[in-house]
Structure 1
Amino acid sequence: MTIEQKLSNSYVNREVSWLQFNARVLQEAEDKNVPLIERLRFLGIFSNNLDEFFKVRYATVKRIDQAGKAGKSELGGVKASELLEEITQIVIKQQSDSLEILDAIQKELEREKIFIINETQIKPSQHKFIKQYFLEKVSPALVTIILNDLVKLPLLKDSAAYLAVKMVMNTNKNQYALIEISKNMDRFVVLPQEGDNDYIIMLDDLLRYCLNDIFNIFNYKSVSAHMIKITRDGELDFDSDLSKSFIDKISDSVKHRQIGEPVRFVYDKTIEEETLHYLLRKMNIEPSDSIIPGGRYHNRRDYMGFPSLGRTDLLYDKITPLPVKGLSLETSIFSAIAKKDYLLYAPYQTFSYIVKFLREAALDPQVKTIKITIYRLAEISHIASSLINAAKNGKGVTVSIELQARFDEQANIEYAEQMELEGINLIFGVQGLKVHSKMCVIEREEGRRINRYGFISTGNFNESTARIYTDYTLFTANQKILKDINKVFSFFETNYLIFKYKHIITSPHYTERALYKLIDAEIVNVKQGKPAYIRLKINSISSYKMVDKLYEASRAGVKIQMIVRGLCCLVPGIPGMSENIEVISIVDKFLEHTRLYIFGNAGEPKVYISSADLMTRNIENRVEVTCPIYDENIKAELIDTFNICWSDNVKARIIDENQTNQYRRNNKPKVRSQFATYEYYLNKLKE
């Protein structure tokens, strides 16, 4: 009996649900309507997601199990030990499926005259190039570890791929070694084109081809190499040294992550059993750890960077981000916002307005202060440089930077140190809470008054992700909303005070109560025969309390439509519990990242954008901001974009109790919502 069968009818286990989300990503790799190289990149996303899952979620369940706790309340009624086994079985099946998909893609690439060759398929004409490439670019950076029974194995890096080498010596003894596949080298080596044919060799296979160059000092009869990878617990552990700054503690914790407890060991299933047992023994890998047989290649996340080879016909067409009607990158953005609110929807519209806003604030002599929250910055961040520029111009700049943004800690630390040197006032969150809200407010001296301008967003202020993540940003000069936003920054400075807000909804103090109130109003309306509905577009829902509240609304007769990209612990469509709830998930070219809440409100809809998903951590353990939309045109625009997504019958999957990720199909005209949304904004420019 599987865990899905053991679960009560009320909830889907969050780990199982998350793995079903990753199955939807794998569906994109399998979909022949997706351009061929993009399919490879989705395989990379699938693999990268799985790495993070094991570092975080699997590691958490394993800690619960090791602590001797049943974990039933935290894990949705499932024992931790049973869940670990179920996860392993699901992942083994998904890994097997992914290898079949990869094989099919490679066959299709060959029909397109793109050949991914291994070390046995190298032509004489390619030998010189490969040897030269190895000697000039690979060999100088190579890390090779010779293993024997006397020397303790150095700690293997988290998520790094290694070639496990076995040499059968002339003495008939075995000599083992490990070769680290460096992250600093291209995983895909593009070989010279021959005729119309393109050739690529994986760095792993290039190393296999050059094994004799690496180990020529050894007198061996035969040599073989198989890939292995270890994934470690990604939780940060902080020490109690009071003499260390918070930055130093985070930095030390990030380094310590590399030596965290192993939670997954993946190996090439063709490896000899003797070699496998030797490695497991040498690395102290216990049978209780997740040991997963895989294919010839690991770290398939690298496929996210598969070379395009100039084959635009095998890629998605690039879209040109559109302007926002009424806003200009060539005139004052403050002057425009002073007259009305504007909505930016990236990547359909250009993220450049956010950078323009901060650039203008940095130069404007009337701007006195800038306050902003930062969660994840781009590697080269114009946001950060604009804030540094503002500080150089004498503005009072306050940045709340979240140093615990998972797996982006090091990048944030480096920018924090730069900003600190420039005199920017840094706030490192609130003790016990992550600052996940996305907001900025500036104060501008206008005559005898100080007026505020700002923006509130559903996503990070990151130029790189803004090209592939869908997110709303509201630009506003609404003094009432911005007064509330300013109070949140005051809370950062004096977090022993709990402020009251008249317009925005904030976590951790008010989100649950406010959403309950909005849901209760819909329950009252439906009982009185008034228009009543709830429409939610979110990344995830795992708060059982919020799930129960939506069940209550469903039982009362409130129609609920939900678009949930990721994990969904709610079970829709169950008679007597959730028959009025429908849930779909959209996985496509862009990563759906918006959080949008719409409540029917007896015919006068209330609309909010938010940084918060309906997860316990967002509601209780983070600083989040949910912002009301007062401008009627923007409100209508947000409802339109929700309706476009809800109409999707190409990339929408139905989420139901069976967890099969069935595509939604109907007899209506085809709507691929991401493409339709771009057309929607293109048409708005013509109005």
Structure 2
Amino acid sequence: MKKGTRQSPSYRPVNRYLNRDLSWIEFNRRVLEEAEDAATPLLERLQFLAITASNLDEFMGVRVAGLKDQRKAGMNKTDFTGYTPQGLIKRVMKRTERFIRDQYRTYRELMRLMAREGVFIASWEELSTAQREAMKQYFQDIVYPVLTPMAVDVSRPFPLVHSREVYLAVVLRPLAPNARHEERTYCAIVQVPSILPRTIPVPGRGNSRKMTFLMLEELIKEQIGLLFSGYATEAVHAFRITRNSDLTLNEEEAEDLLQELEKELRRRRRGFPVRLEIEKGMHPSALEMLKDELELDDGVFEIEGPLDLSFLSKFAGSLTNFDHLRYPKVEPAYPVEFEEGEDIMGVIRERDVLVYHPYESFEAVHDFLIEAAADPEVLAIKMTLYRVDAHSVLVQALVKAAESGKQVTVVVEIKARFDEERNIAWARQLEKAGCHVVYGLAGLKTHAKVTLVVRREAGALRRYVHVGTGNYNESTAKLYTDAGLFTCHPDIGADASALFNEMTGYSTPHDWRAFAVAPDALKPKLFDLIDREIRFAREGRDARIIAKMNSLSNQQMIDKLYEASQAGVCIELIVRGVCCLRPGVPGLSENIRVVSIVDRFLEHSRILAVSAGGEDEVYISSADWMTRNLTRRVEVMCPVYDSGLRAMLVNLLRMNLLDNVKARELTPGGGYARVEGGGQTPLRSQFELADIPLWKTVASAAED
């Protein structure tokens, strides 16, 4: 096992585990490092910075909101990592403050570099007279009609302030005080309309090639007096709140889950505030009003720069003729296996096919379903949908299949966080087309990614299955690394049928032939595989585990890995995000190495390889090793039976482990250190994988 930078062998942690929330902050910092890295193309740096802002929004609205719920309920019990809710909130807020300072330091540096490229986000004072006049006209024509000033006084209570929207707090003073308007200040709120572009192109100066933009809130600030005639503007400052975004559904008692979720989504708009972001130097009257009305005693962050840096994603994407500031385009290749055959199902009858996105095109999944929808011999199509693209080709194929008389069953997970409304819309469209739509099992999210096609062939039925590690989403398939297996193996087909029967009917847990399915069978299967490696190690045989996932936080899984390490099993983990396991601790985890890769694409695939005493067993899965995935979700882990495909996946894992450009190694103390090349040739795994023959030929060699 390749060794990375570790702390002193004498290091002994107070706690055997790292905290999940603090580990998440470390992950977001690794994303920020990509924005800070001068080797990253400039517009990509802006994208990474935008991602850190979006990530932090979700973290505050879900994880920190949950901690505040616990504190409010008076919980003071420590979790398995040694923190009480109150103690953890303090630590999280302190690290978040530090993180935000680093975010905005990076923002200022990136804006300085953008200016060198001739792109400016200017202040009002930096505009010429002609540019200001153009912006005033834009305000009158486009902005002013959609603004709504909201006064805050005795007769007009504090309005509903939406989560994650930018607002302006306006402090006013009457121009002519009288008995009705005494000499005092008044407060009002104006929402910066999110339906308008956040950055406004400003006409250039003469023949200048410079591109100048003005922030929408800056324009509104300069013209705010037009909204409050008879008052002088004493101060205008931006603010933004983040509300509790988690949903609490009583699924057991809900008569209609769809209607209950819609009610909960409406309640979420009024979730209690968790975080208040304010522009630096906010007027004391405005700040006092906000803190009183929002009842926030902590979680107030003063920001030196524009609020909500996620706007940088659209801003960077809108800039044309700047391809030299972006990564080179990667055109996904259509899987060569399907190009060789006349039809996809004909190819699958001959052999299993594994595709790896985004290097290979998601169109293969489209074509599989489109072909099934048009095939008169296909009798039924069953599919799970968790997060679906806004313009889903797959949904349209399901609609056509249902309209042509095929039996179409779709398990739509309407509780997928922040995609609830879109999934409700898809569910209704599918139902209208005649699909049988179900919303999974009460109390469980359906996170498995499985498609089953039942086809009549020579008087019998054959099942074709696609199992994936990622969502059936065309957009994210271009940005996330994920594996997908096409097969008609009879055991996998039988298990796919049983899985859908469990989700749509009242079937009892199945005696799985190939699948391991959470919440009942996945964790026991993983434990069995690890126990077998422990036995091999004790017998002096080859014992090795390589696992790739997004997060590792389940205490029992971590303890089992510690046990395996102590038995001598070599364990290599590729964990992109949260990891609560401490690697490299003598007597506990010295045989465990953990690396995280943050690069151009989001590492999203879940793959497990175990030595099986000499010949690798390989599985792909929808599940991370987190408590929610193992105990509160419907998840699937599927074996890869084809020896060539197993070799290909092991090669992918090894390439990740050899990465010495974008890999960071987790230290026992919870920090991450960049993997040093040590004079070796730089290997950037995501760029190596773009050379598809490099790892596809491994499969052919293994089969030969």
Quick check: TM above 0.5? yes
Aligned counterparts, 1:135-174, within 5 A? 135-170=140-175, 171=177, 172-174=183-185
Distance 1:338 1:406, change over 3 A: same
Report the counterpart of residue 497 of structure 1 in structure 2. 508
Superposition pairs for residues 225-624 of structure 1, below 5 Å? 225-238=236-249, 245-281=256-292, 283-287=293-297, 289-306=298-315, 307-328=318-339, 331-495=342-506, 497-624=508-635
Deviations 1:37-58 (A, max 9, x none): 1111111110111110011111
One-letter code aligned to 2:462: N
Over residues 633-654 of structure 1, what are the superposed CA-to-partner deviations in whole Å (9 max), with x where a residue is unaligned?
A: 1111101111111111111111
Q: CA deviation at 1:408?
A: 0.4
Q: CA–CA distance in 1 between the matches of 2:148 and 2:697?
A: 55
SS in structure 2 of the partner of residue 32 of structure 1: coil
Answer whether contact 2:42 2:110 (CA < 8 A) is retained: yes
* CA distance 1:7–1:412, change in 2 (3 Å): farther
Amino acid at match of 2:310: R
What's 1:672 paired with?
684
Mapped to 2, the partners of 1:326 and 1:501 lie a distance apart of 29
* Distance of 2:198 and 2:324 partners within structure 1: 23
What CA distance in whole angstroms lies between the structure 2 residues aligned with 1:674 and 1:599?
23
The equivalent residue for 1:45 is 51
CA contact (8 A) 2:652 2:695 kept: no
Moved more, 570-579 or 197-206: 197-206
Q: What amino acid sits opposite 2:658 in the alignment?
A: S
User: Which deviates more from structure 2 when the two are superposed, residues 114-123 or residues 421-430?
Assistant: 114-123
- How far does residue 239 in structure 1 lie from its aligned partner after superposition? 6.0
How far apart are residue 495 of structure 1 and its match?
A: 4.1
Using the alignment, how far apart are the partners of 1:582 and 1:428 within structure 2? 39
Could you say which residue in structure 2 is the equivalent of 1:27?
A: 33
Structure 2 regions of 5+ residues with no counterpart?
Answer: 1-10, 178-182
Whole-Å Cα distance in 1 between the matches of residues 451 and 516 of structure 2? 16
The offset of 1:181, in angstroms, is 1.9
Task: Pick closer, same or farther for the CA change 1:300–1:80 going to 2, 3 Å.
Answer: same
Q: Secondary structure at the match of 1:286?
A: coil
Give me the whole-angstrom Cα distance separating, in 1, the residues matched to 2:34 and 2:294.
37
Q: 1:439 to 1:260 in 2, by over 3 A?
A: same
For the 8 Å contact 2:124–2:218, the answer to whether it is kept is: yes
Q: Is the 8 A contact 2:202 2:212 kept in 1?
A: yes
Please give the alpha-carbon distance, in whole angstroms, between the structure 2 residues aligned to 1:8 and 1:405.
37
Distance 1:685 1:479 in 2: 26
CA change 1:240–1:488 in 2 (3 A) is closer
Which position in structure 2 is the counterpart of 1:70?
A: 76
Query: Structure 2: which amino acid aligns with 1:83?
Result: L
Mapping 1:115-154, distance limit 5 Å: 115-154=120-159
CA 1:446–1:559: 2 relative to 1, 3 Å: same
Deviation at 1:534, TM superposition (A): 0.5
Question: How far, CA to CA, are the matches of 1:45 and 1:547 in structure 2?
Answer: 29
Q: Please, which of 180, 197, 210 is the counterpart of residue 223 of structure 2?
A: 210
Deviates more, 1:346-355 or 1:225-234: 225-234
CA distance 1:682–1:319, change in 2 (3 Å): farther
Contact 1:7–1:77 (CA<8 Å) still a contact in 2? no
1:356-388, Cα deviation, whole Å (9 max, x unpaired):
111011100000000000000001111111100
1:450 maps to amino acid: L
Q: How far 1:244 sits from its partner (Å)?
A: 5.0
User: Match for 2:199 among 188, 212, 215?
Assistant: 188
Q: CA deviation at 1:145?
A: 1.2
Q: For 1:7 and 1:373, locate their aligned partners in 2 and report how far apart those are by CA, in whole Å.
A: 43
Quickly say closer, same or farther: Cα 1:685–1:351, change in 2 above 3 A.
Answer: farther
98, 105, 118: which one aligns with 1:93: 98
For 2:432 and 2:613, the matched residues in 1 are separated by 53
Aligned partner of residue 38 in structure 1, secondary structure: helix
1:197 aligns to what? 210
One-letter amino acid matched to 2:31: V
Quote the Cα distance in structure 1 between the aligned partners of 2:308 and 2:257: 32
Distance of 1:502 and 1:102 partners within structure 2: 53
Question: Which one is further off, 526-535 or 142-151?
Answer: 142-151
Provide the secondary structure at the position in 1 that maps to 2:620: strand
Q: In structure 2, what residue type is equivalent to 1:27?
A: E
Deviation at 1:243, TM superposition (A): 7.9
Asked if 2 retains the 8 angstrom alpha-carbon contact of 1:226 and 1:296, the reply is no
2:214 and 2:46 map into 1 onto residues whose CA distance is 15
Q: Structure 1 stretch 354-363 or stretch 487-496: which is displaced more? A: 487-496
1:682–1:116 Cα change, 3 Å:
farther
Deviations 1:287-335 (A, max 9, x none): 1x42222223212112121132321111111110012121139941111
CA distance in 1: counterparts of 2:693 and 2:416, whole angstroms: 32
SS in 2 for 1:526: helix
Aligned equivalents of 2:419, 2:474: Cα separation in 1:
15
Give the stretch that moved more between structures: 369-378 or 643-652: 643-652
SS at match of 2:473: coil
Structure 1 residue matching 2:336: 3-state secondary structure: coil
Note the C-alpha offset of 1:445.
0.5
Give unmatched runs, 5+ long, in structure 1: none
Within 2, Cα distance between the matches of 1:642 and 1:232?
39
- CA deviation map 1:206-250 (0-9, x unaligned): 2122223333x1331x44321111111112133689685211111
Say whether the 8 Å CA contact 1:538–1:595 is kept in structure 2: yes
- The residue identity in structure 2 corresponding to 1:211 is I
- RMSD in angstroms over aligned alpha carbons? 1.9
Distance of 1:6 and 1:246 partners within structure 2: 49
Deviation at residue 71 of structure 1 after TM alignment: 3.7
Q: Say if 2:465 and 2:492, in contact at 8 Å, map to a contact too.
A: no
One-letter amino acid matched to 2:591: N
Q: Determine the C-alpha separation between the residues in 2 that align with 1:149 and 1:312.
A: 54
Residue 10 of structure 1 aligns with which residue?
16
1:269 deviates by 2.5
2: CA distance, partners of 1:507 / 1:100: 44
CA distance in 2, matches of 1:365, 1:450: 13
* Contact kept in structure 1, 2:454 and 2:464, CA below 8 Å: yes
